[in-house]
Amino acid sequence: MKIKQSLSIVQQRTYASISVFISFVLIILVSLTLCGCTVTKKYGPYSGKVVDSETKQPLEGAAVLIVFHTVSATVGGAVFKYADAVETETDKNGEFKVESKRILKTGILQRWDDNGYVTIFKPGYGCYPEHIDSRPLILPSGTIPEKNYVVFELPSLKTKEQREKYLCGRNLAAPLSKQRHLIRLLNRERRALGYETFYSEDTK
């Protein structure tokens, strides 16, 4: 009887030790997971110039949208999730500048994507990076390097057929309120081509 009682006490202590160990491991794993994306991340600054690829003349009023993501690892592969975005327009010299931006995003099993992904558009021109003749070619595709002055070249679309074929679309990840300049220019291009506008310019 005493032997059985002793075994029972040993088993209880063993189970208790295992439970404490498992709880400790879970706390460590959760902490490591959250640390990947609860802290802020600083992106930028970004700067550059947008020009006509043929004439090299500056393009004033082009929309420049930069989108940031977090990345989650899944069985099917990496999944990108929208984190934030910034937008600006080129000045009379075709130049733009985006100051550094710090983002706070909390998520489980997520990490920051180190890249900002850029879309550049002006009516009458091919969209960067979608148009095959837009330059430069930067890897990963569609990213914009930090702390580097980059000259982007957009090809002029000289016919209605070309403009219809290469008509740019909005960024599907970012909310409409984060891409107002881009949407305004997209609507202008669609109206010029005789199409209905897809997106409200009065986004909030």
Element (H, E) at 6: helix 2-35
Helix ranges (DSSP H) in 44-124: none
Q: Give the start-to-end residue ranges of the domains of the chain.
A: 1-35, 39-192
Structure tokens at 93: 């010299």
51, with CB counted inside 10 A (0-12, 13-18, 19+), is buried
Domain 39-192 has CATH 3.40.30.10: no
Are the CB atoms for 152 and 128 separated by under 8 Å? yes
Give the predicted TM-score (pTM) of the model. Answer: 0.79
Q: Which tens digits make up the pLDDT trace of 136-149?
A: 999 999 999 999 99
Q: Which tens digits make up the pLDDT trace of 62-114?
A: 999 999 999 987 777 788 999 999 999 999 999 999 999 999 876 667 899 99
Structure tokens at 179: 């891409």
Polymer length of the chain: 204
Residue 69 has phi, psi (to 5 degrees) of: -135, 160
Residue 140 has phi, psi (to 5 degrees) of: -60, 150
